[in-house]
Chain A
Amino acid sequence: MTSQREITISPTTRIEGHGKVTIILDEAGNVSDAYFYATEIRGFDYFLRGMEADRLPFIISRICGVCSTAHVLASVKAIENIYGTEITETAKKLREVLLMGQIISNHSLVFFFLILPDFWFSKEEDPSKRNAFQIMRENPEIGRKAIALRSFATKILDTIGKREVHIVSAIPGGLISPLKEKEREELLKAAKEACAITQEAVSLGKELFEKNWEEFRKAGDYKTHYMALTEDDATEFYEGKIRIINPEGAVYSEFTAQDYMKHIEEKRYEWTYAKFACLKTLGCQKGIVQVGPTARINVNRKAKTEFANKELEEFKRKFGSPAHATLLFDYARLIDLLYACERTRELLEDENITRTDTRVKVKPKGGIGTSVVEAPRGTLAHEYTLTRNGRLKSIKLIIPTQVNSAAINLNVKDAATEFIQKGEIKTGLLNRIEMVVRAYDPCIKCATRNVTDGLKVEIRNQEGKLLKILS
């Protein structure tokens, strides 16, 4: 066996949350199975039961501080769905801006802080230097761009959400307060600057991506189903229909949020607390679905904004539609980022956004309601059952990372098979696992509402006996 030291290259790093990988070997020492999973429950789904609906949106956002805004919006929408509340156009526009702020905040973090170091440094770079802070030291201009985009998102969330992390302004019935004209002007000015910076970021990302493409394309290429929101064939984040396409790109099904749980089912495996999610009709073997940046492009024919649409067309030309290679998530994420900036600008150019009718009165009642939004990592669904007196009776959340789990596992198994033969572990295993896992930008905290220790690779034999732990 190769010495463990060679394989210990920081597997836990630059992934939000922590995960764990188990590789199972057969008698001959070849890979028979591999899992990417999480190990313990934080308990959200349990302790939220009995909670008053009033308090759900802002408590549930604590599932994940990185995509908290997406959770808040999904939560208020699900409650509105039960109450039968129709919010105003103004509130809808403001919520969409909030969601765009969420996308910008997450994607700028993922691109500059988590992914860029892989593109930027050579593989031989000293791992202690392979990080965003080092890039910022070497190239302060990039640091300023990263911070400028992040600050723009912060400004949106702070101005409209009233807090940058765990917003409080979105409530059942709309938005707690309107946007002031002065705030609109300031945000619009910032949006214009942000769009310019994003375009530069996209060019930089594309250039570095293309340089590495020959290498990247080898790292996983699975023909699966894809799912995303759509409206008139265009990418959509806040509302619209859910569309699933098959691996050849034909529409497999299309439905409204209320029917989400009829199409997607969760599957529990005893080895992980993160439940998987897959297509009900096809089951978890054949019905593997992927969500997220690539899925949004694969499912849709166009984007509503000018530059994002150009990039989307170029993407489809270069990589086909549907595009399958795993690492394309990193490329597609940049197109999301561009869309979010442009769309924010567009929404803020509309002077009607400062109208004061942001809130309608809600009529609380019991029942079941489901809502769907596109979170940074893909389609996010919340379903609540409320009792007559407005308490949470049961809750079901299907999180993007759960949906992607099956595909992530395929990727991990592939890497394992490639790198482990006859009990011999070649160098590069962890690096490969890390890169494909990172492409999905998985949010393990979300998928399990959960805690784990760091990403470890456990190698077990068929009886489940632990042979080796790499970490």
Chain B
Amino acid sequence: MKVNIVSLTCCAGCVSSFLNAGDALLEILSQDFDIVYSPTFVDLKEVPQVDLAIVEGGVRTEADEKLIREVRAKSRVLVALGICATHGGVTSLGNIISVKKLLEKEYFVLETSKLPELEDLMYPICNFVDVDYYIPGCPPMPFLIVHSLKSIVSGKTPIRHQSVVCTECNRKIIAAKLDRLYGIYDKEADPNLCLVSQGFVCLGSLTREGCGAPCPRAGFTCFGCRGPTDSLLYRSRDLYSFLVKVISKRTSIPEEEVKKELYRNPFIFHTFIFSKFERFKARERII
């Protein structure tokens, strides 16, 4: 199988993560998995016709757009690797520059003027081309990448992750009695209790599982790098009110107060999904 690895606007962390797969990587490389094009590793200039294209990064420039269209036209299967490719990623926070005024009103008064206006926004690749599989994550964990690729290589649909990070996190959820929320550096976390039950704003309850919950397991809040889970993508897209309910339930702080606290920082929810989606409809293809 001939494979392309393509990087658009990104931090290169996703391909790095793929290279972290260790023996599983060696195994996949020793099978029918021939990386023929990858500017980071291979000296081939023209995008070749291939069976599988793995794309990290989103579309920020015309060059990105041209490349992704060419790659799509020349690949049988196209995988969007990482949340830059699937949802726009952290770079899409740059999109705030053009809504600066709005942010000044809603959020924080930016003290400098003269910020250069960015002309273009950062988009996920699905705004431009059809995507066969989406593997969100910033970056997706090596095992997730390798497992999914193995299935794809053998013509099967990779295992989907439809539930939330909480299912992979061993912390015990209780309805605690708290009077305020905490920042992650404000106090040390109890190692066994759900972080939300301790007053931290953990996004595990609205984030897609599949990462193994490394962050909450370590005592750091999940900040949503796998993107919203199925139900929140389609049934209710109001992440705020969903999380307000969860936090209020697990802390006994009234919803109104939780809301006030959360609205102070819109980045909490949109760190990785600030972009604009046009054709993101293939839920059954999100791994």
Q: Do A and B come from one complex?
A: yes
Chain A residues with Cβ below 8 Å from B271 are: 55, 59
From B19-27, B68-76, B248-256, give the one contacting chain A: B19-27
- Interchain nearest-CB distance for B27 vs A (Å): 10
Which of B43, B60, B61 is close to A128, meaning CB atoms less than 8 Å apart? B43
Known: A165-B139, A362-B185. A131 touches B63 (CB 8 A): no
Fill in one digit per residue for B66-104: 1 if any A CB lies within 8 Å of its CB, else 0: 000000000000000000000001110110110000010
Within 46-89 of A, Cβ neighbours of B (below 8 Å) are at: 46-47, 49-52, 54-55, 58-59, 62-66, 68
Do B40 and A133 have beta carbons less than 8 Å apart? Answer: no
Task: Tell me if A321 counts as interface (CB < 8 A to partner B).
Answer: no
* Measured CA separation A131–B35 after assembly (Å): 10
Do B218 and A54 have beta carbons less than 8 Å apart? Answer: no
Do A151 and B22 have beta carbons less than 8 Å apart? Answer: yes
From A9-17, A201-209, A277-285, give the one contacting chain B: A9-17
Task: Tell me if A322 counts as interface (CB < 8 A to partner B).
Answer: no
Chain B residues with Cβ below 8 Å from A366 are: none
Do A169 and B218 have beta carbons less than 8 Å apart? Answer: yes
Chain A residues with Cβ below 8 Å from B43 are: 9-10, 13-14, 117, 127-128, 130-131
Task: Tell me if A172 counts as interface (CB < 8 A to partner B).
Answer: yes
Do A147 and B267 have beta carbons less than 8 Å apart? Answer: no
Do B188 and A359 have beta carbons less than 8 Å apart? Answer: yes
* Measured CA separation A68–B111 after assembly (Å): 28
Which residue of the partner chain A has the closest CB to B9?
Answer: A451
Task: Tell me if A166 counts as interface (CB < 8 A to partner B).
Answer: yes
Task: Tell me if A264 counts as interface (CB < 8 A to partner B).
Answer: no
The interface of chain B, by Cβ under 8 A from chain A, is 8-17, 19-20, 22-23, 25-26, 29-30, 34-36, 39-45, 60-61, 63-64, 89-91, 93-94, 96-97, 103, 107-108, 110-112, 115-116, 118, 138-139, 141-142, 183-185, 188, 214-215, 217-220, 223, 265, 267, 271
Which 9 A-B residue pairings sit nearest by Cβ, starting from the closest? Answer: A65-B13, A43-B94, A162-B218, A453-B63, A10-B43, A151-B22, A65-B11, A451-B9, A62-B90
The interface of chain A, by Cβ under 8 A from chain B, is 8-18, 40-44, 46-47, 49-52, 54-55, 58-59, 62-66, 68, 105, 109, 113-114, 117, 127-128, 130-133, 136, 140, 143-144, 147, 150-151, 154, 162-166, 168-169, 171-173, 176-177, 359, 362, 364, 391, 393-394, 445, 451-454, 471
